[in-house]
Amino acid sequence: MKQIVIIGGGFAGVNLAKKLADANGVNVTLVDLNNYNYFPPLLYQVATGFLDVANITYPFRKLFAGKKNIRFRMASLQRIDTVNNKAILSNGELSYDYLVLATGTESNYFGIENIRKHGLPMKTIDDAVNIKNYILQKIEEATRLNDPDEIKKLTTMVIAGGGPTGVELAGTIAEMKKNIFRKEYPELANQKGEIYLVDALPTVLAPMSKQSQEYTHKTLVDLDVKVLLNKQVKDYVDNKVIFADGSEIETKMLIWTAGVAGRVFDGLPEDIYGRGKRLKVDAFNKVDSTTNVYAIGDTCIQTTDKNFAEGHPQLAQVAIQQGKNLADNFKAMVTGKPLEPFKYFDKGSMAIIGRSKAVAEIPSPKLKFKGFIAWMMWLFVHLFSLINFRNKMQTFFNWMVTLFTKDQSMRTIVRPTVVQDKS
């Protein structure tokens, strides 16, 4: 029996494990710091109170219950011992025949220490819950004040990063401000807190077409979002976002979605990392200079696919497809069959801007959609991408409530305390 250890239970790791479930000749151990899988494209809806954490999470042990060759270990990877084929974890070690790194990415602060300390990232469930709590707490604080300048700092928000996450977050918060906050916070009815979406690039949604970019920009402006392009964030000091051109925005809320980077693994040589600290892999997702270490999803960069010579985009579909392809190759290794190099099938890209407003593009045939049709496509794709039936039904119900009421009631401030070991 070949022992396969998967580090990371995101799109890539989970799809690899699911396809290896009940396969002959392999035992699989999935390792993750959390005991649940979550759906990153909908984190912004948790951060804005339109979905509950339970809507986009599912326990690993429940997911793999009854799969005799799948085990789960709740731990973090500390070091890789490639000589002895061992993964050194925070609570022990695992021996492997094949090690798969599927850890995704981390927020990239580009070396700006003040943003790392005081900005609000949005990469994990904890981040999304923290953003929701922080926004609500600052607004509650603003309702108790009389100083207009201080109130403006508390109610002004800067979202750094004009990619899908930044666009979706800005549009949703703008609609909340219009449809919810004005009713629920009458104390702030006449205040001038703004929502800024800033990016160092000359356009939002850079990978998409000019048509989609222009529609998105116009829609955000119509929602009263201040879109500032060619604006590089240089620092965040004394509640001021400072730009490279010397301009500033005073705010106590800076949400950072401006960049991601891969993780550096102790035990692997430095020269195997490519752009964005992504592990360089061959056509079969094997890490360069290794014999039995693989990387899939956002954590790797693969330049052997002729249609993506600079590497694949860091999207969910790439991770899903790489996970499934590697599972097939592991099965082929056991049976002595030839391996299949990975080839990405681009299903397109999309981004939601607000209620009934979105953009979507399908590369083959070249089709572009915007407005309500694109919004419905976005709902359908994301709904059916959720990991199980329960999540699909709960999310669908919440979306229908939001569609007809323009509201949700999940704006609770939850401050969990640290769980102490009382044994």
From the number of C-beta atoms within 10 Å of its C-beta (0-12, 13-18, 19+), residue 189 rates as exposed
CB 360 within 8 A of CB 347: no
Among candidate residues 113, 141, 150, 168, the one labeled active-site is: 168
The CA distances from residue 354 to 20, 175, 267, 403, in Å, are 38, 7, 45, 11
Name the phi and psi angles at 138, rounded to 5. Answer: -70, -35
Sign of CA dihedral 350, 352, 355, 359: negative
Sign of CA dihedral 193, 231, 353, 210: positive
User: Catalytic annotation on 93?
Assistant: no
The CA distances from residue 52 to 351, 382, 399, in Å, are 20, 15, 11
For residue 58, list its beta bridge partners.
Answer: 37
> What are the structure tokens assigned to 34, written together?
């959390």
> Residue 68, Cα to own-chain centre: how many angstroms?
30
Q: How far apart are CA 82 and CA 290, in angstroms?
A: 8
Number of other CB atoms surrounding residue 161 within 10 Å? 25
Report which DSSP code applies to 246. Answer: S
Beta 254-256 vs 92-95: how paired, if at all? unpaired
Q: How far apart are CA 144 and CA 105, in angstroms?
A: 39
The catalytic site residues sit at 168
